[in-house]
Structure 1
Amino acid sequence: MKLGGRNAVVRELLPFASTSATVIIGANVEHVGRWGKPPIASFVASLDSSYAKYVARVAQQKAPGDVALLSRMLHELLLTFYQATSQIPQRVVYYRGGASQDQYFGVLQAEMKALRKAFKLLSADCKPRVTFIAVNKRHHLRAFPMNSSGENNVEPGTIIDAGVVDAHGFDFYLYGHKNDQGTTTPCHYTVLHDESALSAEDVHRLTFHLGFTLGRSTRSTSLVAPVYLARLAARRARCYMREVSDGPFKSKFDLAGPHDGIRNCMFFI
Structure 2
Amino acid sequence: MAAMAELDRAPRPGHCGDRRGATPGGNGATLLGQGGTPRAQAVPDRAPPRAGRGRGGRTRAPRPRRGRGWRAATGAVVVASMDWPQVTTYKALVSAQAHREEIIQNLGGMIRELLISFNKRAGKKPKRIIFYRDGISEGQFNHVLLLEMDTVRKACASLEDGYLPPVTFVIIQKRHHTRLFPGVHGRRDVTDRSGNILPGTVVDTEICHPREFDFYLCSHAGIQGTSRPIHYHVLYDENRFSADGLQILTNSLCYTYARCTRAVSVVPPAYYAHLAAFRGRYYNEQGSPAPDGTSVVGGDAAAAGDDPPACRRLPQIKENVKEVMFFC
Question: What does 1:40-189 align with in structure 2 at a 5 Å threshold?
Answer: 40-49=75-84, 50-62=86-98, 63-65=101-103, 69-147=106-184, 148-149=187-188, 151-189=194-232
**Which stretch shifts more, 257-266 or 212-221?**
257-266
Equivalent position SS for 2:250: helix
Task: Give 1 or 2: higher strand fraction.
Answer: 1
Within the candidate set 14, 21, 26, 1:5 is matched to: 26
Q: 1:133 offset after TM fit, Å?
A: 0.3
What is the Cα-based RMSD across aligned positions, in Å? 2.1
Max Rg structure: 2
In structure 2, what is the equivalent of residue 256 of structure 1?
315
| AA matched with 1:140 | H
TM-score, L = length of structure 2 = 0.76
TM-superposed CA distance for 1:151, in Å, is: 4.4
**Residue ranges of structure 2 left out of the alignment (5+ in a row):** 1-19, 33-37, 59-65, 288-295
- The offset of 1:262, in angstroms, is 0.6
Which of residues 21, 38, 45 is equivalent to 2:46? 21
Aligned residue for 2:285? 242
* Contact 1:25–1:92 under 8 Å retained in 2: yes
CA shift at 1:123, angstroms? 1.6
Q: State the shift of 1:145 in Å.
A: 1.2
C-alpha displacement of 1:200: 0.4
Q: Secondary structure at the match of 2:257?
A: coil
> Which structure 1 residue ranges, 5 or more long, are not aligned?
none
Aligned partners of 1:9 and 1:213 also within 8 Å: yes
User: Is the 1:30–1:41 contact (alpha carbons within 8 Å) kept by the matching residues of 2?
Assistant: no
Matched to 2:147, the amino acid is: A
Residues 26, 44 of structure 1: 8 Å contact kept: yes
Shift of 1:32: 9.3
Q: Is the 8 A contact 2:21 2:28 kept in 1?
A: yes
**Structure 1 position 24, deviation (Å):** 3.2
Q: How many residues align?
A: 267
- SS of aligned partner of 2:111: helix
- Identity among equivalent positions (%) equals 34
Offset of residue 37 of structure 1: 2.6
What is aligned with 1:266? 325
Alpha carbons of structure 1 residues 97 and 66: separation in structure 2 relative to 1, 3 Å? closer
TM-score (norm 1): 0.92
How far apart are the structure 2 equivalents of 1:66 and 1:99? 11
